[in-house]
Amino acid sequence: MGLVGIATEKILSSFSVFLFLTILLLAVARRISSSVLLFGLQSAIIAAEVLATAFQEKLPEIYIVGALVFVIKVVAIPRAFFLLTKRLKTVRDVKASTTPTQSVFIVAAIIYLSYAAVHSYGGAVHVPDDPLAAAISLILTGAFLMVSRKKALMQMLGLLVLENGIFLAALITTFGMPLVIEIGIFFDILMGLLLMGIFTFRISDTFEHLDVSKLRRLRG
Amino acid sequence: MKITLDILQVLMLILGAPLVHGIIARLKARLQRRRGASIWRPYAELFKLLRKEELVPPTSSAVFRLAPIVLFGATVCAAAFVPVVHASALLGSRGDFFLFVYMLVLGRFFLSLGALDGGSAFGGMGASREALVSSLAEAPFLLGLVAIAVLATRADIAGMVAWTLEQNIFNISAVHILALTSLAMVILAETGRMPVDNPTTHLELTMIHEGMVLEYSGRSLALVEWASAIKLHTMFALLIALFFPWGMAFSVSGWGVVVALLLYCAKTAVLMILLSVIESAVAKLRMYLVPDFLGVASALSALAVIFTMWVKR
Amino acid sequence: MLTGPIGAAFVFLLAVLSVLVPLILIASRAEGARRLAVALIVTASFAGCVVAVSSFLRQPGPVLDLSRATPFPFSLAVDRLSAFFLLLVCAVAIPVTIFAAPYFDLHYSERRRNWTWGFFSMFLLSMIVVVTAATGFAFLVGWELMTLVSAGLILIEGDSTERRHNVFIYLLMMHVGAAAVAACFFLFLPYSHSLDFGAIRAACLGMPGGIRAAIFLAAFVGFGAKAGLIPMHLWLPRAHPIAPSPVSALMSGIMLKTAVYGFVRFAFDFLAGGPWWSGYVVLVVAAVTGLLGILYAIAENDLKRLLAYSSVENIGIIFLGLGTSLMFLAHGAPLGAALALVAALFHAFNHALFKSLLFLGAGAISNSTDSVNLNELGGLQRRMPFTGAAVLIGCCSIAGLPLFNGFVGEWLTFRSFLAGSTLINTKAQIILPLMVGILALIGGLAAACFVKTFGMAFLGRPRSTGSEQAEEAPIGMRVGLALLSAGCLAIGILPGLLLRPLVTLVQVLVPGAGVPEETLSIARIIPWTAAIVLGTGALVALFKRRERIARTWACGLPGLTSRMQYTSTVFSKPIRFVFARVYRPDRKVEELPADQHYFPVSISYRSVRTTSYERALYRPFVDGVVSLAYRLRRLQTGNIQVYLLYIFLALVSLLTFLRFQR
């Protein structure tokens, strides 16, 4: 077994707790930079989990997926965000429409809901409860962030958290999709980010702000 | 023999408290690139204050004089509930953690009354803010302790410590992590540390605890300062006992106790370093953001209680 | 039956309060007659305590059957539950009566004094009848008498329009509650064929579930309205503050507990636990009551209205215990049910003690300073040290601090919530520990509220001339305050005194439960805690201490006045700000003259707090009823032929109905 084996086991059995902590902290984060840091931390935990799964299941292609996750989501995307915030010179506040207390209670309710949903399937799907509940919580929290944060950059971040959740759910239930599909998904995300980057520049140029709640001219 | 060890635990918590204060102050000074005062300075200050005469406001009544004594007595009694070197405490009994929390409330109640007796605006300001912070901090405190109690199926602090001692240190449970985070936040609020309150401030508008003790001098001030140091030390001991108790003596033998004592000092040192770093790195919260801070702590501890349902399957 | 000294004492108690005292007061207006009446009331209450204690120790207690003299069966019996509440009534009545003697002398004219004492003794009599009733008729008679006599006592105090409006609301809500209580009794009739409590208890075993659920709901609504559960507590903050202080003490301290007695009698003695949803409903209502009660209390500046809202909060805490007990019963855990019931009844007794103490303190304050507005008091501790010490004990007790009696009740409630985590049902397993958080929040806010109350009233500088010239209360008032304070301290330090009898009582109400060991452990540990705190205090006080009077530090400003202190309004502002969604005040700022915006001559600020349920629940309901009444007025045309037409139509419809029933 060795030290690596023990570490792998511990990671696999308890990583979901730390994911819960990151989404609870995302609910109360007040600055875009701290939200991005939390997203990076989240992706690092997921990358560690991918590598641990690869070690345990002995599937070499998952190593590549793990490396991809690390490079893209832990290094590249947060750096891109930081560069964007510097270039756009926006105010650093997250502009949430709910107070931190309300947000954290909503996220706590989301966590409870995910566990309740996972429980009702019980042992039908042969998957441990905690990681699946973590994945569903990530998806719902990503959606909540997109709904309640008014800055366009935070909408992007919410989408990324959502994608983290979908990725984790896919990973748990199928022990890794084929490598080609993984690369396809990553490419998708990159294109989406590029587009969002271009659009935020244009929005900020035209309107001098990035508050999506004020962008409502296109009404029926 | 067990009773002697319990009494020695309480004495250690009481007498070691100013040292904890001194070390934290020196660490903060070092982090701020100053040299800092000696770590034994709080003892010298206590001796000095005990010998000085007291100045008492003309409008004050017996409550003003009584408050520091009640505060000190209540805090000392609270220290008698916490195990330090072995899984037993002097006043340990089933359901004692409620009594522990409410002993601290008793102390704060009388301190607020003493503050109002001074007849100035500072006391009222401190007491009114303290009322806000303490009323909101009780729920997460008790919920966090209840989560651990439900997990351990024991209702006394010593029992929870004994249960934790039997667990594997690497079995990280979601309940413990959530309860630890929530209790850490509550401890920052209860002991009046950053980011909730600045213990070294001189500006009236930023005072909570300092505002309440502004009128005290001489022996009363010594009692109040000592009580606040004992409270911090007791909270540290509680955190260590509930979450990192490994190393505590199982039997009342000489070597076991010595080893447990050394390990306790090491763990307290880690907590002191953490507290100094947090205090130097974080800015004080605006007062109306403190309820949000405590709301997060409440949500975390409520979630910890909910999680016990799934762990105990 | 009525044999022996105990029976005689019981008859003495009833006879004095119902017949003797009113006769004396009607017969003569002399001072001596009044003193005799007061002495008789105190002696009778003491006899009542003796009856209660001895009936508790040795059952069966005295039974008084007056059925031959009354149109419906009327009998009084003292079983264990009645004995506990009888002790509560009589034990609190003694200090209140002793306090009331000098208080009424100073506040009322001669003629009104006689009327007041007459009503006072009838009030005590009605409460004793309610808790010792053994038939439905006796219960309802006592219930109605309580309402009417207390309304009379309020009206004796004064006769303004606002007072009459408040009394009207009080009578209205009490009668709604009484209707529900009467419905409870009458729902039993088809099954028990008589309203005797024994027959009702026997009939319960064979009743269908639907009827039992209906009876439980009717009992909850009826007794809840009398106890002051939200949203039926509208009358409490209107009626309690305008009564004279000793009467407020009786209303808040004892009358609310008769509602608790009624609920316990129905839910635990007759129905043996409600339907499976009963625990949840009671818990939710109680939690809301506790929270909203204390939040409204903190926002109040009138001392007596603050105490009234605080009574609402404590009733919430008592019903939290009762709801937990019902939940344990529904899930088949009698030990937990026993613990929760002990907690609720213990807190009820404690509340009677410290709430009466606080209302009597408010009476002493209003007697000395002619004001109960916290913004006008201050610095009273130096001028009224004895009253201050007594009120301090009351405030510490109600804040739930250890070493005072309020703490043990809350501790037992917390322990029963914790015991909920051992239940099998997952919903209950989670809700009960989460209630710990709610009760902790209520307790924290209560402590903050009473720091404000005591601090603003007694500490600091006097804020008005009335407070500057206050004098210590007369000796009679001090004796009353001292008795209640001694009770609070005694039960606080030695809770076993009351816990052991309560456990015996609860074992009768909840069959199959053992002795909850929590009651034993707390009785053991509290005296040690008290020893350590007092010992440390004594040790510290031994050290020599010199003191010198010097000016308050205020950044060196000379001449601090009393307006530079914090007032009650400001003290509660942070909490009111955080909970602004609950309060929603209507704020109006008016500048005069309206066109000179930058140079106003006067600016006025008005903030009116209407409680949210009043706006959302009562106003639309009342408006709907009134508009319906207006529409029905059209039936009354004044034309005699239309009335003859009504009679004709009634006959025709009756015949049609008979025809189609075949």
Assigned domain for A8 exists: yes
- Which domain covers residue A203, as residue numbers? 2-208
A124, pLDDT greater than 70: no
Which domain range does residue B26 map to?
Answer: 2-311
Tokens of B85: 């070197």
Measured between beta carbons, the chain A residues lying within 8 angstroms of B303 are 24, 108, 111-112
Confidence of residue B107 (pLDDT cuts 50, 70, 90): very high
Task: Find the CB nearest B146 among C433, C455, C547.
Answer: C433
User: Can you tell me whether residue C602 is helix, strand or coil?
Assistant: strand
Quick one: pLDDT at residue A200?
74
- Beta bridge mates, C592: C602
Model confidence pLDDT, tens digit, residues A145-166: 888 887 778 888 888 898 888 8
Kindly state whether residue A16 falls inside one of the protein's structural domains: yes
Q: CB neighbours (10 Å) of residue C49?
A: 19
Residue from the list A21, A104, A107 with its beta carbon closest to the beta carbon of B177:
A21
The model's pLDDT over B64-96, given as tens digits with 9 standing for 90+, comes to 999 999 999 999 999 999 999 888 888 888 888
| Residue A198 forms part of a structural domain | yes
Contact C75, C134 (CB under 8 A): yes
- C-alpha A72/C-alpha A160 separation (Å) is 12
- B170 part of contact set with chain A, CB < 8 Å: yes
Nearest chain A Cα to B301, which residue?
A108
Could you tell me if residue A220 is inside a domain? no
* Average confidence score pLDDT of chain B: 90
- Spatial contact of B152 and B90, defined as CB atoms under 8 Å apart: no
Q: Among A9-13, B255-259, C282-286, where is mean pLDDT lowest?
A: A9-13
Please, are residues A196 and A151 in contact by the beta-carbon 8 Å criterion?
no
Instruction: Tell me the mean pLDDT in the region B212-237.
Output: 93
Two structure tokens written together for C90: 């009589």
Least trusted range by pLDDT, from A109-113, A213-217, C341-345, C508-512: A213-217
- Confirm whether A25 is domain-assigned: yes
Residue A43 placed within a domain: yes
The whole-number pLDDT of residue C149 equals: 93
Burial of B67 (0-12, 13-18, 19+ CB in 10 A): buried
Chain C residues touching residue B122 (CB < 8 angstroms): 553-554
* B 183-212 residues with CB < 8 A to C: none
Nearest to A20 among B171, B174, B310 (CB): B174
The predicted pLDDT at position A125 comes to 64
Q: Does the structure show a pLDDT above 50 at B313? A: no
Is residue A109 in some structural domain?
yes
Contact B174 A17 (CB under 8 A): yes
Tell me: pLDDT of A197 over 80.
no
CA distances in angstroms from C95 to C311, C340, C360, C476, listed in the order given: 19, 29, 9, 9
User: Considering only CA atoms, which of C18, C22, C80, C73 is closest in space to residue C51?
Assistant: C80
Q: Is the pLDDT of residue B3 over 60?
A: yes
Beta carbons within 8 Å of B80's beta carbon, 6+ residues apart: B6, B10, B89, B90, B91, C532
DSSP conformation class of C240: T
Q: Please name the residue of chain A whose CA is at the shortest distance from the CA of residue B306.
A: A112
Closest chain A C-alpha to B26 CA, distance in angstroms = 30
Chain B segment 214-273 residues within 8 A of C by beta carbon are 214-215, 218-219, 223
Sequence ranges of the domains in chain C? 1-243, 276-532+566-584, 616-661
Residue ranges in chain C modelled with pLDDT below 70: 1-2, 610-613, 662
CB atoms within 10 A of CB C514: 10
CB contact under 8 Å between C532 and B76, yes or no, is: yes
Q: Which residues of A touch B177 (CB under 8 A)?
A: 17-18, 21
What chain A residue is nearest to B294 in terms of C-alpha separation?
Answer: A101
Of B56, B102, B127, the CB nearest to C455: B127
Q: Residue B170: pLDDT above 70?
A: no
Q: What average pLDDT score do residues A25-50 get? A: 90
Instruction: Tell me how crowded residue B104 is: count the other CB atoms within 10 A of its CB.
Output: 24
Given the cut 0.85, state whether the ipTM is greater than it. yes
Share of chain B above pLDDT 90, in %: 56
* Structural domains counted in chain A: 1
Residue A82 contacts B, CB cutoff 8 Å: no
**What residues 126-165 of chain B have any CB closer than 8 A to a CB of chain C?**
127-129, 131-132, 134-143, 146-147, 149-150, 153, 155
Predicted pLDDT of residue B312: 56
Residue A177: the pLDDT is 61
- Flag whether pLDDT at A119 surpasses 80: no
Task: Give the highest mean pLDDT range of A174-188, A189-203, B42-56, C52-66.
Answer: B42-56
Dihedral angle of Cα C567, C572, C573, C579, to the nearest 10 degrees: -170
Instruction: Name the domain count of chain B.
Output: 1
Burial class (CB within 10 angstroms; exposed 0-12, middle 13-18, buried 19+) of A152: buried
